[in-house]
Structure 1
């Protein structure tokens, strides 16, 4: 199973997000305002991510869950497009938002190919459907084995406004699949 890269067609993210992250996203839209209460504007879906320091700009597709409970990744034939996982927070809202992109696919270099070069302090800008932007600052990166992916750390609840970018990383196994994931952690400015 892969996250953000593909040697095999349309493979999925190796772990299931915690139910806390998915139920928090579901309950956020479940409330009913009391009579006379001002309407609360719902966050607009993200449509674009830009990381100038590494030359990345991409529109964003929506990603959900596969039938087996793993997180979808963008189709390999759309490797130059990143995706926002809709079961997590909207970028800029409270909680952890997650954007997944391929490093390489069978079609060649993909959208997050150069993500490995990102540095602490780099700016990540996410634009939403209303044209509003949220700026995030990279706080750290880590390369982790897909066999020990930190699901709770990536998808779990946070008290802040966080963004996680995920792609493949590391050496290759016998089938030619990368064995690690690169995770970029960022916080809202």
Structure 2
């Protein structure tokens, strides 16, 4: 039986709210930097302050418009279907997706660190393309070098993210914003909260770096569904 839109949003919100420790600690050790030093050219790219400000303004404008006009999504939501692969053409990312659950401490689990070109999606929440907020996460690096989402901080607003679904379709998302947050200031509701249209979050580690504790925060890509094929 197909779930109603309101049920999808409610169920996804409940599932996403279960993610208690949002810093994705296992993603953030910076194993490559620890093994190769902390030279500036080793650190992954981050969105600039200007880009972050523009992204914030764009998100606020969308939220205001939605409230004023009760805007419906321009692209129809897709039925639920697990994702199998994620592609970000501008970053040359083309990676399989595995299902992720929660650890015993309530944080989002992560793909095996040894598999550099592997990402995961939170399978208790929304599937990419259906109404709600779908969550994808992956490593920024491992002991051997850059991993699947090393370049995520360089992604630009308007870029495309494609997700291959198990039903044979492809969900196409457009990037609204790329932001970086310190772990202590991570905005849980903004990242994991319910949405009235199909949205996607792609998360990896970023921000400042310390040899003692690894990366100090997370890079988060905000995107919404703009097509399918």
Question: 2-side partners of 1:134 and 1:170: how far apart?
Answer: 29
Q: CA deviation at 1:117?
A: 1.3
Match of residue 161 from structure 1: 198
**TM-score between both structures, scaled by the size of structure 2:** 0.65
- Mapped to 2, the partners of 1:99 and 1:156 lie a distance apart of 14
RMSD: 1.7
* Worse-superposed segment, 135-144 or 107-116: 107-116
The answer on whether the counterparts of 2:79 and 2:129 sit within 8 Å (CA) in structure 1 is no
Matched residue, 1:100: 137
| Count of residue pairs brought into register by the alignment | 157
List gaps (5 residues or longer) in structure 2.
1-23, 32-77
Alignment of 1:2 with 2:25, yes or no, is yes
Please state if 1:83 is matched with 2:106: no
8 A Cα contact 1:103 1:113, kept in partner: yes
Q: What is the distance in 1 between the residues matched to 2:167 and 2:218?
A: 32
**CA distance in structure 1 between the partners assigned to 2:200 and 2:79 by the alignment:** 19
**2:154 is matched with which residue: 117, 122, 131?**
117
Alpha-carbon distance, 1:87 to partner: 2.3
Distance 1:88 1:54 in 2: 26
Normalised by the length of structure 1, the TM-score is 0.78
1:74 to 2:111 alignment: yes
Secondary structure of the corresponding residue to residue 76 of structure 1: coil
Distance 1:42 1:186, change over 3 A: closer
Alignment partner of 1:170 out of 207, 215, 228 = 207
What corresponds to 1:130 in structure 2?
Answer: 167
Q: Residue 54 of structure 1: which of 69, 88, 91 is its match?
A: 91
| Residue 224 of structure 2 is aligned to residue 187 of structure 1 | yes
Which residue number corresponds to residue 82 of structure 2? 45
- Larger helix share, 1 or 2: 2
| CA displacement at 1:143 relative to structure 2 | 0.4
